[in-house]
Structure formats: structure tokens, C-alpha cells
Chain A
Amino acid sequence: MGDVFLISVIKFVTYVSVVLLSVIILGWVERRLSAFMQNRLGPNRVGPQGILQIFIDVIKLLLKEDIVPKNAYKPIHDLAPVISIAVALSTFAVIPIGNTIELFGSHVKLMIADVNVGILYILSITSLGVYGVTLAGWSSNNKYSLLGGLRSSAQMISYELSMGLSIIGVLMISGTLRLDQIVLHQAQYLWGWLPAWNIFLQPVACITFVVAAFAETNRLPFDLPEAEPELVGGYHTEYAGLKWGLFMLAEYANVITASAVITTLFLGGWHLPYVESFGLSPFTLSILQVLTFCVKLLLVILFFMVIRWTVPRFRYDQLMSIGWKVMLPLTIANVLVTGLVLLLI
């Protein structure tokens, strides 16, 4: 029993430190990349290629004064960023980053919590994230913050539906709610050569899920809750210092989590095609799987960032009409077609 506990603690500590560190580094990656896309250089002075800039910014945020508006409701004003970051970090717990690894003579599953309803856990936790945003908007006692929070909740309700429905197609194919089983199902081959990743089996579900994921993480084509030109800073207008920093961390943590879910559900998770035939030792294979997962994750994150500087923000009525009139019928049709095909086969 002690062994299991120790392993859980090791997994947890490694995971939290790695995710928090990569969240901070992603801030730098995004600034550098967006600068490159606009023919600029971005932060490149502090440390090699400017990578220490973001750490200095974190220190600056820690030392800044914490300003609370006079009529704000302080307990909730303090609580909102904590909800945001906690929810953003806890989703990652069920993501399998590899199959199993031999450690201290026992097989260790490379995920923190081996939940048998992993997908339901992800859906429920990500929809909790909206409370952080909405409560922040409400408790600030500011019109713009409130509008940002309201927009966020309406957006979340509209896109949660298509997100859940697009997952159903995947569930029908793999027949399980366990994320590790879904990845194992994708580790097979179609016609002997094409990896059975869900992006090939469920292209429509993949597209709708990615769009819904953008909306859930409040990233650019759907960042209406913090639309700078309209709402000053949106829900975090009245936040300063560390609490504002927590919202930023939560945003990037959400991006990592959403990318991880997309990788797991549609891009084959840790599965590296054709590697089984090389006859590698189990330990090397496990390491290779973790690396594969990280590379896929990074590519999806970069996709998130490139999209941010490509697609302009939707108008609010456009956002709603896409969510209800396009995405929802599309996902329902996808479920129907998948069901028909599964019946016929």
C-alpha cells in the first residue's frame, strides 16, 4: 500500500511542477511566436532568446500591489481566480501520457487518476471553470467585468452541448469512457497501414470538438469574455498583481489541458505509429510514448497560438448562431451517421 501512495505522490508532484513550468514557458512561446508572425522579434534580451523574461514578469506580478475596487465583494473577488486555476490544473489528472512504465518493479499507469469515467470527469470539471470567470465578473462591481462574465457563461452553455455531442461519436466507436482504453483503441490499424486515430474515423467530430475547445478556453476567435476593444479587459478588468496573474496562468493551463484532451481523443494520444514492429524494450517504448505525447501536445498548442493570430474575433450574434445553428446540428448528424455505420458493419 505504501508503494502505491509513494508512486501517486511522485506522479502528482512531477505533474504539477511540469505543468506549471510549461504554463509559464508557454507565455514566452506565445509572445515570441506572435511577434514572429507580425515580423517582429518579441522579448529576446533576458537570458538566451529571452526565455527568462517571463520568469521576471512572474516575479513582478508577485511584488505588485493587490488592488480591490471599493464596492467589490471581497471574498468572491479573492476566490474567483483560485477557482479558475484549480479547475484548469485538475483536468489534466485523467490524461494518459503513456501506456504503462516499469518503475520500482511494478507496472505504473502513466496517468494520475485512473478514473473509469474519464471523459465525464473532463466535461464536468471544464464546465466548472466558467464559475471562476463569471464570479470574477460579478464580484468586481464593474459593468464591463459583468458583461464579460455573462458572455462567458452564455458561450460556455452553447458550446458545452456541441462539445459533449461530438465526443459521443468517439465513445460509440471505442465503446468505453476510460481515456486509456480510448487511446488503446486508437493504437490499432485500418487496412493494415492507417493508424486508427479518431481524426480519421471521426473527422467531423474532430473539427467540432476543436472549435468547441477554442470556445471553452476563451481563446481568440471566441475570446468575447475579455474582448479588449469592447470590454476594457473583460472579466479581469478589476484584477491586479498576482490575482490577475492567476487568470493568465489559468488561460494557458486551459490551453494545455484542451490540447491534451484533443490529442488523447483524436490524435491517438501516446501512440506512435509503426513503432511496435521495431521490437524495442518495454522501458524504451514507454519513454518513446511519453515523448510522442509531448510532441503531439506541443503541435496542438502551437496550432492554438497560430489560430489566435489568424482568425478575427466573432461578433456576439455570430458566436451564438454558429454554436446553435451550425455546430449543434452538425454534431447530432455526426452521431446519427456514426450510429448507422456502426449498425451496418
Chain B
Amino acid sequence: MGFNGKMIRKKDLTIWQKAYIPEIFKGLRLTISQIFKPKFTYQYPEERFKPEPSFRGRPVLVQENGVERCVACGLCSRVCPALAIEVQASETELEKERYPIVFEINMVRCIFCGFCEEVCPEEAIVMSSEYELVFTSQEEAVFGKDKLLKSTEELKDRLEFLRQHR
């Protein structure tokens, strides 16, 4: 007789609840009322989910005035728990003196944790709102600078969000 809960329940229930049928009709009313409520489904290819700025989509490099902000310090590559980022530095005539000649993120390895964004001293790598990532091969999944660079206008929402919450 290890059913302790059973004893307590029997005391709690009123005679109407024990009769069970009225309770079923209460449940039916709830179920039927749900039929007419608005649905949560997105009709995906036609209607897409628009993420909030707090959403962590694929990481991108911020491009300001046609140049990336990145100074190739390699901190993101260091902090990345999945070892997805590869940076190779080189020198430049610009004020920042260093820039990444190669910057690759392997999107198969990326786990969207956002550590690279957190650790970046220049706010040069941020998480965008893009979530549709489809590849047909391993090579295609390695995103180079051509795919990673995004202008500040495109990333305005996310940069604004970071400034407020950091």
C-alpha cells in the first residue's frame, strides 16, 4: 500500500469530482474552445519567423565604411569552444594596422554560443538574425570573408541591442 498520494486525493475530491462525468464536460469545454483560438503555426516558405535582436543567428563580421572592424587579435578563435574559427593576420596601412587576411568560420562546427561576440574587443564579430543555413558539402559550410562581411546598417538592431545590454 505504498500509494500515499491516493489517500490524500480521495479526501480532496468533492462528490461532483468523484462522479467524473461533470469534470469530463469541463475538460470538453476547454478543448472545444481551443479549436477557435488563433494558431501559432508559421506557413514557413511563404511566411518567415522574424527574430528579435536578442536572437543568436549565424556569426558575421561587421563592415564599417567598406572595411571590416576586425583587427585579427584571434581572441574569438581562442574562445570558440567548437574550434570553428580560423584567423590569419596581416598588416595594413589603415589606422588599425592589422587586419585578417583569412577569416573562416566552419558553420558545421559552430554551436551559436555567441562567445566570439562577447569576447571581441572591437565589436567586430556579432551574431546576426539569419537562421537558414543549408549546405550540400563540407567545403561549402566553411564561410570565408566574402560570406561573413555585413555592413553596419544591416546589423543595426543587433549592435543597438548589444550596446544596451552589455
Contact = CB atoms under 8 A, between A and B. Distances in A.
Interface of A: 33, 36-41, 207, 306-307, 309-311
A-B residue pairs, 8 tightest by C-beta? A310-B27, A41-B41, A310-B31, A36-B35, A37-B34, A37-B31, A41-B39, A310-B28
A113 B157 CA distance: 73
A40 B27 CA distance: 19
7 contacts: A36-B34, A37-B31, A41-B41, A207-B21, A306-B32, A311-B24, A311-B27
Contacts of A33: 35
Interface of B: 21, 24, 27-28, 30-32, 34-35, 37-41, 43
A310 B41 contact: no
A326 to B, nearest CB: 9
A38 B24 CA distance: 18
Q: Give the dominant DSSP class at B's interface.
A: helix
Contacts of A207: 21
Contacts of A310: 24, 27-28, 30-31
A329 to B, nearest CB: 14
Contacts of B40: 39-40
Contacts of B38: 39
Contact of B41 (A37, A40, A306, A311): A40
Given A207-B21, A306-B32, A39 B27 contact: no
Nearest to B42: A41
B153 to A, nearest CB: 36
Contacts of B43: 41
A309 B43 CA distance: 24
Nearest to B27: A310
B10 to A, nearest CB: 13
A306 B31 contact: yes
A310 B27 CA distance: 6
A309 B32 CA distance: 10
A62 B19 CA distance: 46
B49 to A, nearest CB: 15
Contacts of B21: 207
A334 to B, nearest CB: 15
B31 A309 contact: yes
B24 to A, nearest CB: 6
Contacts of A38: 34
A310 B24 CA distance: 8
A37 B43 CA distance: 18
A146 B13 CA distance: 36
A40 B40 CA distance: 6
Nearest to B38: A39
Nearest to A302: B32
Given A33-B35, A40-B41, 6 more contacts: A37-B31, A37-B34, A39-B34, A306-B31, A307-B28, A311-B27
A37 B28 CA distance: 11
A39 to B, nearest CB: 5
A39 B37 contact: yes
Nearest to B21: A207
B39 A39 contact: yes
A37 B35 contact: yes
A136 B54 CA distance: 53
A309 B35 CA distance: 11
Contacts of A306: 28, 31-32
A33 B35 CA distance: 8
A40 B39 contact: yes
Contacts of B24: 307, 310-311
Contacts of B39: 36, 39-41
A280 B43 CA distance: 49
B25 to A, nearest CB: 9
Nearest to B35: A36
B19 to A, nearest CB: 10
Nearest to B29: A310
A41 B34 CA distance: 12
Contacts of A40: 39-41
A297 B28 CA distance: 19
Nearest to B30: A310
B52 to A, nearest CB: 21
A202 to B, nearest CB: 15
A185 to B, nearest CB: 26
